[in-house]
Amino acid sequence: MIANWAEVVNAQAGSPQISHFSAMCLFALLISVALAGLTKRTASERVKYAASCFLKFLAVGIAIGWLMYPFSH
Amino acid sequence: MNNDNPIDGTSSSDALTHNSAGDGGGANQREIRRDVLAPFIAVTAWIVPGLGHLVLRRWGRALIFFLAVGGLAVAGYLLRGNVFPPRIGEPFGTLGFLADAGAGIFYLLSRFFETAGPDVSRAAGDYGTRFIAAAGIVNLLSVFDAYEIALGRRTM
């Protein structure tokens, strides 16, 4: 069943389209959640840490993107 | 979430107290039991992300690691990232394989999710490669965490 579902998704996707920003957000979200689970104990601490980590990931990613901007021209 | 350790039925802090007090045979038996079972927990945690924590009754962590590792791996496969096969003699390929294989059962599921094969000629495929490697690394972190908890070295 999983194989069939994956085949359908792959066939439909063909060439999956995802923006750089979306990929960064997804990556940052999943890694932030994992790090929060690893380092914090209570649910509230985890939510706060994951949110903080996620925003920092985005901030650093965007900052590095702008730092590289001059080299792309 | 509690700190009870199902391996010996004590909390981590209890175990530390017993050990430092040196109460003889009981504490030693618990130590031996932990030493024997901790590697088993580590292997379990590697094969199925979150299962090691589930055995240790860390429900929250088990769910978080399963979703995070599974989410990263499946997203990587759907983006058609490169999955490194076991190959000896190529340092980067070997490192890539070690990172990918860290995802345990999700590494084996790659052939089901990525039926069209990898495509790193586009940015999405390149992102996918990083997602898959990150899934393995995150799972390896969870393996070490479960191992430390099983040994009673980590109380949280």
Could you read off the pLDDT of B24-49 as tens digits, one per residue? 667 777 777 778 889 999 999 999 99
Q: Inter-chain contact B115–A7, Cβ cutoff 8 Å?
A: yes
Q: Inter-chain contact A37–B64, Cβ cutoff 8 Å?
A: yes
Q: Inter-chain contact B61–A37, Cβ cutoff 8 Å?
A: yes
Kindly state whether residue B2 falls inside one of the protein's structural domains: no
Give B62-76 pLDDT, tens digit per residue: 999 999 999 999 999
Q: Inter-chain contact B65–A6, Cβ cutoff 8 Å?
A: no
Q: How close does chain A come to B116, measured CA to CA in Å?
A: 6
- Closest residue by Cα to residue B7 from B60, B61, B57: B57
Question: Which one of A7, A35, A38, A42 would you mutate to disrupt binding with B, by most B Cβ within 10 Å of its Cβ?
Answer: A38
- Check: CB of residue B108 under 8 Å from CB of residue B48: no
DSSP B10: E
Residue of B nearest to A29 (CA): B68
Contacts of A43 in chain B (CB under 8 A): 60
Give A17-66 pLDDT, tens digit per residue: 788 899 999 999 999 999 999 999 899 999 999 999 999 999 999 999 99
- Check: CB of residue B136 under 8 Å from CB of residue B101: yes
pLDDT above 80: residue B111? yes
Neighbours of B87 (CB within 10 A): 11
Question: Which one of B2, B79, B109, B154 would you mutate to disrupt binding with A, by most A Cβ within 10 Å of its Cβ?
Answer: B79
More confident: A4 or A71: A71
How many interchain CB pairs under 8 A, A with B? 78
pLDDT above 90: residue B155? no
Q: Output B90-94 pairs: Cβ under 8 A, ≥24 positions apart.
A: none
Kindly state whether residue B121 falls inside one of the protein's structural domains: yes
Q: Inter-chain contact A3–B112, Cβ cutoff 8 Å?
A: yes
Report residue B97 CA to chain centroid gap: 16
Does A18 reach chain B within 8 Å, measured CB to CB? yes
**% of chain B at pLDDT higher than 70:** 83
Residue of B nearest to A36 (CA): B64
Q: For chain B, what is the mean pLDDT?
A: 83
Q: Output A35-40 pairs: Cβ under 8 A, ≥24 positions apart.
A: A36/B64, A37/B60, A37/B61, A37/B64, A37/B65, A37/B68, A38/B61, A38/B141, A38/B142, A38/B145
Q: Please state at what angle helix B25-47 crosses helix B123-151, rounded to 10 degrees.
A: 170
CA distance B86 to B126: 19
Kindly state whether residue B156 falls inside one of the protein's structural domains: no
Residue B4's H or E segment, with its range, is strand B4-5
Kindly state whether residue B18 falls inside one of the protein's structural domains: yes
Q: Which domain holds residue B98?
A: 10-151
Does A1 reach chain B within 8 Å, measured CB to CB? no
- What's the number of domains chain B is made of? 1
